[in-house]
Amino acid sequence: MAGYTSSGDALPVYANEPSDTALRLATRLSERVGARPARVRFGFVRRLEGEGPPPLAGLLRGGRGGEVRLKLVLSLLWVAGGGDERHATGAWPARAWAALLDLPDPEGNGQRRIHDAIRWLEEKNLIRVVRQPGKPMSLQLLLEDGSGKPYFDPAPHARKKKESNEHVEPCELFFQMPPSFWTDGWIVRLSGRALTMLLVLSEVTFSGGWRWVSPSQARQKYGISEDTWSRGVAELKRHKIIDIRKKPVGEEEFDFRRVRNTYLLRFDQERRVALPTPPAREPANEEIEE
């Protein structure tokens, strides 16, 4: 059940246990896409030189519904980011997306929220909607930078450049969210703030080890407010997704000892974000309606 719960931390932590239906849908989708990860370009998360706010910050600032928009985009990167060159979903009804994200009342208000998110993403050139009379909409990915350019999988593109000893631009780098993000219900458990910080820290810590981000960098590079940063990080810590360690800034004994938080997010051998395993649930085998 959704709500705020105190865990001894200074800030509340959002908790939402995924339903069996959401887990079953995620498992079926994972089977369909061959258990591939979702690849997220750095340029979706951080501001690139000479450009405006990153798309991630824009999703959250675009009025109510930012959390649904963000979770839908990540789900589209998962199910349509790989596969054939169309990078499109099937003609799945909005209520199926609402059920995957575990929105309340998926047959009513839940699917209306999905339709609102789809319209917003289409207006911002993040997706193209393919409409056919008498059928649900099919959603086609566009590049995450909002340019409206056709989407392409960043993995083979970056690999080809490396093999040719070509320079890989920062906007071409990416991290990967594992299918367990959906099949273990983290897409439901995490609030929009926590999910935002998971993406930001995935980019920050990608090169490995403990990392620190200054408050000014958080605003300028990622467009993230102090409130989102603090509450999102507290939630990730509560779920044991990240570790936080305080590091003194001054090294001299007579210096005023300021400390700063450094963060550690783990990746597996395939450079996918490593997420904790939640308690076991019943096996899933519900079909997705098409």
pLDDT-based confidence at residue 285 (cuts at 50, 70, 90):
low
Average pLDDT over residues 126-132: 92
Give the C-alpha separation, 140 to 138, whole Å. Answer: 7
What residue spans define the domains of the chain?
Answer: 3-192+202-208
Higher pLDDT, 144 or 6: 144
Nearest CA among 119, 14, 124, 109 for reference residue 59: 124
- Position 179 scores a pLDDT of 96
Distance of CA 78 to the CA centre of its chain: 10
Q: Is the pLDDT of residue 112 over 60?
A: yes
Residue type, 258: R
Average pLDDT over residues 99-107: 96
pLDDT-based confidence at residue 7 (cuts at 50, 70, 90):
very low
Is 261 buried (19+), middle (13-18) or exposed (0-12) by CB count in 10 A?
middle
Give bridge partners of residue 240 from the DSSP assignment. none
Residue-wise pLDDT for 235-258, tens only, equals: 999 999 999 998 776 555 555 556
- Position 290 scores a pLDDT of 46
Residue 133 CB neighbour total at 10 angstroms: 4
Average pLDDT over residues 106-120: 96
Is 71 buried (19+), middle (13-18) or exposed (0-12) by CB count in 10 A?
buried
Higher pLDDT, 261 or 67: 67
Higher pLDDT, 9 or 271: 271
The pTM score is 0.86
Q: Is the pLDDT of residue 4 over 50?
A: no
> What is the DSSP track for 119-175?
HHHHHTTSEEEE--TTS--EEEEB-TTSS-PBP--HHHHHHHHHHTTPPPPGGG-EE
Residue-wise pLDDT for 54-67, tens only, equals: 899 999 886 678 99
- Position 128 scores a pLDDT of 95
Nearest CA among 235, 182, 246, 251 for reference residue 212: 246
Residue-wise pLDDT for 176-205, tens only, equals: 999 999 999 999 999 999 999 999 999 999
Q: Which long-range contacts link 129-134 to residues 24+ away (Cβ below 8 Å)?
A: 130/88, 132/91
Average pLDDT over residues 251-270: 75
pLDDT-based confidence at residue 283 (cuts at 50, 70, 90):
low
Torsional sign, CA 79, 84, 88, 92: negative
- Position 239 scores a pLDDT of 94
Average pLDDT over residues 217-232: 87
Check: CB of residue 89 under 8 Å from CB of residue 138: yes
Residue-wise pLDDT for 26-54, tens only, equals: 999 999 999 899 999 998 999 876 677 88
- Position 2 scores a pLDDT of 40
Check: CB of residue 251 under 8 Å from CB of residue 192: no
pLDDT-based confidence at residue 159 (cuts at 50, 70, 90):
confident
**8 φψ region: left (φ > 0), alpha (ψ -120 to 50), beta (else):** left
- Position 145 scores a pLDDT of 85
Share of the chain above pLDDT 70, in %: 85
Check: CB of residue 65 under 8 Å from CB of residue 117: yes
Report the chain's C-alpha Rg in angstroms.
Answer: 19
Give, in order, the Cα–Cα distances in Å from 79 to each of 32, 97, 131, 236, 289: 8, 12, 19, 25, 15
